[in-house]
Amino acid sequence: MPRRPPNQEERGNYDDLAALLPIFGAVLLTPAIANLFHTGTSLFGLPLDMLYVFAVWILLIAGAWWLSRRLPQITPPDDPSQDLKVPPELPSADSRSE
């Protein structure tokens, strides 16, 4: 499925999200927060602490999957096309084809 290429602003947002995702993951898994779920209770017969760790884990994977479809292609610096920046007001060929 062809996806609309993100514009400059969106791209910046995705860049930031890509940095925030692992940081949020790390923060959620610090003892300070993880221990809030160390209650000795269970949910659906499973310990809450384990469910919490796995839930964060799944969220991280889902977030990475979501971002992987939106972050721009990786272009090695040898690729000359990277330097030819299209001015933002000119619609790119891709967005016109939709």
Partner 1 sequence: MLSLDYVILIAMAYIGLLFLIAYTSDAFAHHRIGRFLHSPMVYTLSIAVYCTSWTFYGAVGTAARSGLEFTAIYIGPTLVFVGWWFLLRKLLIISHSQRITSVADFLSSRFGKSSQLAILVTIIAVVSVTPYIALQLKAITSSIQAVTVSREGAGNLGSFDELTLALGVAVCMALFTILFGTRHVDAREQHPGVVAAIAFEATVKLFALLAVGIFVVYGLGGGMGEVYRKAAEAGLEIYEKSPFGSRWVALLVLSASAVICLPRQFQITIVENSDENFLRTAGWAFPAYLLLMSIFTAPIALYGLATMPAGSNPDMYVLTLPMAAGWEGLALFAFIGGFSSATSMIIVASIALSIMVSNHIVLPLVLRGSRGAEVGSDRDIARLLLRSRRFSIAALVSLGFIYFWLTKDSDALAPIGLISFAGVAQFLPAVLAALYWRSANLEGAFWGMLVGFLVWAWTMFLPSFETSSPWVASVMEHGPWGIAALRPQSLFGMTGVDPLVHAVFWSLLANCSIFAVVSVSTSQGALERIQSTLFVDVFRRSTSFQPQTIRGSATTSELFFVAERVLGWQRANDLFDAAGVSRSGSARLDVPPEFIAELEKELAGAIGSASAHILLTSVVAGDAISLEEAMRIADETQQAIEYSHELERTSQELRVTAQQLQEANAKLQELHRQKDDFLAHVSHEIRTPMTSIRSFSEILLTEQDLPEEQARRFISTIHTESVRLTKLIEEILDLSALEQGEREWVNQSIDGEEVLGDAIVVCEALARKREVAIEMGPRARYAPIFANAGRLSQVYINIIANAISHNEAQQPRVHITSWLADGHYIVEISDNGQGIPEPYRKTIFDKFVRAGRSDLEGGYVGLGLGLNIAHTIVDKLGGTLELTRGHLPGACFRVTLPLDHSARTAVEKAS
- Cβ atoms of residues 64 and 21 within 8 Å: yes
Nearest partner of 67 among 30, 1, 19, 4, judged by Cα = 19
- Cβ atoms of residues 38 and 49 within 8 Å: yes
Task: Confirm or reject binding of residue 51 to partner 1 (CB under 8 A).
Answer: no
Smallest gap from Cβ 68 to partner 1, in A, equals 5
Number of residues that bind partner 1 (CB under 8 A): 46
Task: Confirm or reject binding of residue 63 to partner 1 (CB under 8 A).
Answer: yes
Task: Confirm or reject binding of residue 15 to partner 1 (CB under 8 A).
Answer: yes
* Cβ-Cβ contacts under 8 Å for 14 (sequence gap 6 or more): 6, 67, 70, 71
Which spans of this chain sit near partner 1 (rule: CB under 8 A)?
15, 18-19, 21-23, 25-26, 29-31, 34-35, 38, 40, 42, 44-47, 49-50, 53-54, 57-58, 60-65, 67-68, 71, 73-74, 76-80, 82-83, 85, 87
